Amino acid sequence: MRGAVAIARRLDVPPVVVGLTIVAIGTSAPELTVSIDAVLKGSPDIVTGNVVGSNVANILLVLGIAALIRPVQTAPQLIRRDGMMMVVSAALLTGLAQTGSIGRISGILMLGLYVGYISYCYWIEHVRGDPSYELTLAEVEEHSSGIQKLYVSIAMFLTGLAGVILGADLLVNGAVTLARDFGISEAVIALSVVAIGTSLPELAVSVIAACRGRSDVAVGNIVGSNISNVLFILGTTSVVSPIDFDMQITHFDSWFMLAVSILLIPVLATGMHISRKEGAFFLGLYILYIFAIFKGWPMALAGM
């Protein structure tokens, strides 16, 4: 991320473009590489479980921890634009889950919707001068390395990219082995172990931002990542190969992700912040969710 941002800044790419593209997509790079690796290896449950589980972890785990460190503040425009888009993308994913699969045509449409969303964000921030422009600049600053030499930035980027690709392959192989050895479904492993692993960049950025008193960056990071996970990650992966949904994700986890996404909006709207008590509630709810899926409660409730 730092290498990519440094390269873009050296090439005089406008900061708002860097924030809306490199930063927005970069924090979802683990989800993208894991998803493509998994679908090429014939493990679609890891793809959908990874995205759904990451979105749940981003809100309940990452924001919960960040709020415990320092109450998380946010801006009204973040709720109106990005927060609502996050809910729309979650609703879209839940609807697609009910059909049982995401085909290539749906994937192309999802990518088109993502490009349209990024274009709208650029227009409203750069052309109209919306206050969210300052938040985008702050997100870029959080990922700036201060490195001036271009060859150093390129080396950072390539090294990081190699690490992400290698890590994704190890993570998918480990997840499949865990599922096989312990008799747990790949979907459950993806919703928990894989999702937490791929959410570590969001956790790192959000915790650092909260410690620095820039909790608005933490929220923007999470909301933007959740949108990218659905529209960009699943869209790209389904274009590579159509994706089928596990029955548990269709009947429970996708709905839980949608409910959590909706829950975040009124929590932020009440005083435009997440208090420590609300953070503790988020974290407790996440622990209960992980416990429930490992115990198989969702499948039992659905009678499957």
**Residue 285 within any structural domain of the chain:** yes
**Residue 234 within any structural domain of the chain:** yes
Q: Is the predicted pLDDT of residue 133 greater than 70, yes or no? A: no
Q: Both tokens of residue 246?
A: 């596990």
Residue 300's pLDDT is what?
63
Q: Both tokens of residue 244?
A: 């089928």
**Residue 287 within any structural domain of the chain:** yes
Q: What is the CATH number of the domain that holds 25?
A: 1.20.1420.30
* pLDDT over 90, % of the chain: 35
pLDDT bucket at 10, cuts 50 / 70 / 90: confident
In our burial notation (b when 16+ CB lie closer than 10 A, e otherwise), range 25-35 reads bbbbbbbbbbb
In terms of pLDDT, which residue wins out, 99 or 129?
A: 99
Least confident of 91-95, 99-103, 184-188, 206-210: 206-210
Residue 151's pLDDT is what?
83
Using CA atoms of 26, 232, 287, 44 in order, give the dihedral in degrees to the nearest 10. -120
Q: Is the predicted pLDDT of residue 302 greater than 60, yes or no? A: no
**Residue 301 within any structural domain of the chain:** no
**Rounded CA gap, 6 and 150, in Å?**
8
Question: CB count, 10 Å around CB of 80?
Answer: 13
**Residue 299 within any structural domain of the chain:** no
**Rounded CA gap, 226 and 217, in Å?**
14
**Residue 103 within any structural domain of the chain:** yes
Residue 98's pLDDT is what?
94
What element of type H or E holds 178? Answer: helix 150-182
Place of tokens 């096989």: 180
Give the three-class secondary structure for 210: helix
**Residue 10 within any structural domain of the chain:** yes
What element of type H or E holds 38? Answer: helix 29-40
* Mean pLDDT, the chain, whole residue set: 85
**Residue 300 within any structural domain of the chain:** no
* Phi, psi values for residue 91, rounded to 5°: -65, -40
Q: Both tokens of residue 77?
A: 């425009």
**Rounded CA gap, 48 and 56, in Å?**
12
pLDDT (tens digit per residue) in 31-79:
888 899 899 888 889 999 999 999 999 999 999 998 888 887 776 666 7
Q: Both tokens of residue 45?
A: 């449950």
Question: CB count, 10 Å around CB of 135?
Answer: 24
**Backbone CA torsion sign across 141, 111, 38, 188:** positive
**Backbone CA torsion sign across 90, 53, 23, 74:** positive
In terms of pLDDT, which residue wins out, 61 or 203?
A: 61
Q: Are 241 and 46 in contact (CB under 8 A)?
A: no
pLDDT bucket at 97, cuts 50 / 70 / 90: very high
In terms of pLDDT, which residue wins out, 200 or 229?
A: 229
pLDDT bucket at 135, cuts 50 / 70 / 90: low
Structural domain boundaries, residue 44? 2-294
Q: Would the pTM count as exceeding 0.95?
A: no
Residue 128's pLDDT is what?
62
Q: What does the radius of gyration of the chain's CA atoms come to, in whole angstroms?
A: 18
Closest CA to 15 of 142, 101, 117: 142
Contacts of 263 (CB under 8 A, 6+ apart): 59
pLDDT bucket at 272, cuts 50 / 70 / 90: low
**Rounded CA gap, 87 and 265, in Å?**
9
Structural domains of the chain, count: 1
Beta bridge partners of 73: 273
Residue type for position 141: E
